[in-house]
Structure 1
Amino acid sequence: MQRFDYLVFIGRFQPVHLGHLKVIEAALAQADKLIVICGSSRQAISPRNPFTQSEREAMLRAALPAEWQERVFVVGCSDRMYNDQQWVTEVQSLVDKVIAVDTASLGHRAAEFSIGLVGSSRNRNNYYLQLFPQWQRVEVPDEPGIDAAQLRDCFLSDTCSDFEHCADKLPPAVFDWLMRFKQGEVYPYVVAEQRYLQDFRQRWAAAPYPPTFVTVDAVVIHSGHILLVRRRGMPGRGLWALPGGFVEQDEPIRDAVIRELKEETRLKVPSPVLAGSIRANRVFDHPQRSLRGRTITHAFLIELTPTGDGLPKVRGGDDADRASWVPLSEFSRMEAQLFEDHFYIVNWFLGQI
């Protein structure tokens, strides 16, 4: 007997596997409809996020039996990495919109329907299940022996070319979809990025403890523009980023951010002026913010005062092949083009201005 009008299933589906289908089957046994929310829907392509939101929906649709198709809705959600309340609001809004469209002819509101949240609280990354107390929880145990990170590593690894060993953990239609994906233009880029990251981590494998890296990032604002650089090398080659880098052993963090800013942008503003224009700083330390390993960054908001001479000249240098002033209105649409968590760092600071 169905207990819910709608159940909500939140995940990243990178890739879709048999554990996901188990949750979907259990959900549809207890609900009339299922709303699948794909996280990280607008992040840049990387070894952790090799598939776009539309590609993940294509995988999911390929795996669903025909009789389930009209009962399952798939939408994408941004991560909002440093603002849980923004993320919760977006999820709630997505659910409301799906229900509004689905029931438009009935004239009902989402509040009039019974809604639940399906998933497993035993997964340590599923803390978000606690953020929706208004939705009753439906527990579905994780499928033993299936780990999405291991599936991605196998899919992208040079040393695991026999991807067929993973076939028993994937719906057959998804396995076929992934084999076709290997023939596309994106796959070689993601494999090269994965190889670089594995080599980077291997160089630190002999350390007595897992290393923690300290970096700096500069959020430079001038007359409604933000200063960005385009990355020259891996990881994130070709993506836009904040000017920044690793802190050297003999320098204070504030000096490091100004040094990296000038090295990567050749910004024609004296260092003392930059230091005097720092308006705020914050540590960003999400454990998954960087695929290189545990990386804690100190980000500084630098607001430059207009002088009547226009935007200061910049050009790419050091690790950047290009530097550019980007209008903030344009930046707001660049989430899928930004490196790591830089989009979320900037948005946090913009909320403080």
Structure 2
Amino acid sequence: MKTGVILARFQPIHNGHLQLIKKACDENEQVLVIIGSIDKLSKRNPIPWTIRKQLVEKAIKDYSLHEKTKIVELADLSDESDNSHDWGFYLYSFIVSKINQSDFTIYYSDGFETITSWFPGFLLRNNVSLSLLARNTCEDGVSATMVRDMILADSLPENNVVPQCVYDMRQTIKAFLNVFK
């Protein structure tokens, strides 16, 4: 079964993430959406994973992408800057255990050098494919950092940058952001 994989922190989910998920759904029979860094709470990761999962599930359902997607969460192996082969094997074995197959495509929006550093060459040649949707080509280069800054400044536009569920929960998200100001 052709499978796409998306790994993101979703701090919070935004329309760029949704474009990536939609692309993966269009090109695959199933898509594994991995919410990463579930064990971290910090200025960079202020929203608890339970809230992020709730928002991802709602957004995917609202955009009718839920029939092809499975949402799971993954703790970091060491820290989120770990780009070692240890991290790559950890991620690879996690994905294989969830989809029960060894071949898949990772969809990403930036960081080609980072992603390729995770996996030894034989995995990239034989098992792991990569598909880019460049951040600057989707939703005006939106990033979760940009969204968090807009939420803090009370300047988040409705429907242009984030799914409705994030807009509706912006005050709750802001409360988490204020903890790490």
Q: Same fold (TM over 0.5)?
A: yes
Does 2:45 correspond to 1:49?
yes
Identity, % of aligned pairs? 24
Tell me how far apart the structure 2 counterparts of residues 174 and 39 of structure 1 sit (CA, whole Å): 18
Q: Which runs of 4+ in 1 moved over 4 A?
A: none
Which one of the candidate residues 34, 38, 52 is aligned to 1:37? 34
Measured after TM superposition, the shift of residue 171 of structure 1 is 0.8
Measured after TM superposition, the shift of residue 26 of structure 1 is 0.6
- The equivalent of 2:71 in structure 1 is 74
Does the C-alpha gap of structure 1 residues 179 and 30 become closer, same or farther in structure 2, counting only changes over 3 Å?
same
Does the C-alpha gap of structure 1 residues 176 and 98 become closer, same or farther in structure 2, counting only changes over 3 Å?
same
- The equivalent of 1:92 in structure 2 is 92
Tell me how far apart the structure 1 counterparts of residues 114 and 83 of structure 2 sit (CA, whole Å): 12
Measured after TM superposition, the shift of residue 49 of structure 1 is 0.7
* Conserved 8 A contact 2:4-2:105: yes
- The equivalent of 2:60 in structure 1 is 64
Does 2:15 correspond to 1:18?
yes
Tell me how far apart the structure 2 counterparts of residues 87 and 77 of structure 1 sit (CA, whole Å): 12
Question: What is the TM-score with the length of structure 2 in the denominator?
Answer: 0.79
Tell me how far apart the structure 2 counterparts of residues 181 and 84 of structure 1 sit (CA, whole Å): 32
Instruction: Give 3-state SS (helix, strand or coil) of 2:2's partner.
Output: strand
Does 2:4 correspond to 1:7?
yes
Measured after TM superposition, the shift of residue 192 of structure 1 is 4.7
Instruction: Give 3-state SS (helix, strand or coil) of 2:34's partner.
Output: strand
Q: CA RMSD in A?
A: 2.3
Q: How many residues align?
A: 167
* Conserved 8 A contact 1:9-1:119: yes
Tell me how far apart the structure 2 counterparts of residues 30 and 70 of structure 1 sit (CA, whole Å): 14
Measured after TM superposition, the shift of residue 16 of structure 1 is 0.2
Tell me how far apart the structure 2 counterparts of residues 193 and 172 of structure 1 sit (CA, whole Å): 24
Which aligned pairs between 1:147-166 and structure 2 lie closer than 5 A? 147-156=143-152, 160=153, 162-165=154-157
Does 2:107 correspond to 1:118?
yes
Tell me how far apart the structure 2 counterparts of residues 173 and 90 of structure 1 sit (CA, whole Å): 32
Does the C-alpha gap of structure 1 residues 166 and 50 become closer, same or farther in structure 2, counting only changes over 3 Å?
farther
Instruction: Give 3-state SS (helix, strand or coil) of 2:67's partner.
Output: helix
Measured after TM superposition, the shift of residue 10 of structure 1 is 1.4
Question: What is the TM-score with the length of structure 1 in the denominator?
Answer: 0.43
Instruction: Give 3-state SS (helix, strand or coil) of 1:163's partner.
Output: coil
Instruction: Give 3-state SS (helix, strand or coil) of 1:93's partner.
Output: helix
Measured after TM superposition, the shift of residue 175 of structure 1 is 1.2
Q: Extract unaligned runs of 5+ from structure 2.
A: none
Tell me how far apart the structure 2 counterparts of residues 59 and 192 of structure 1 sit (CA, whole Å): 20
Amino acid in the other structure paired with 2:21: I
- The equivalent of 1:191 in structure 2 is 178
- The equivalent of 2:133 in structure 1 is 140
Q: Rg: which structure is higher? A: 1
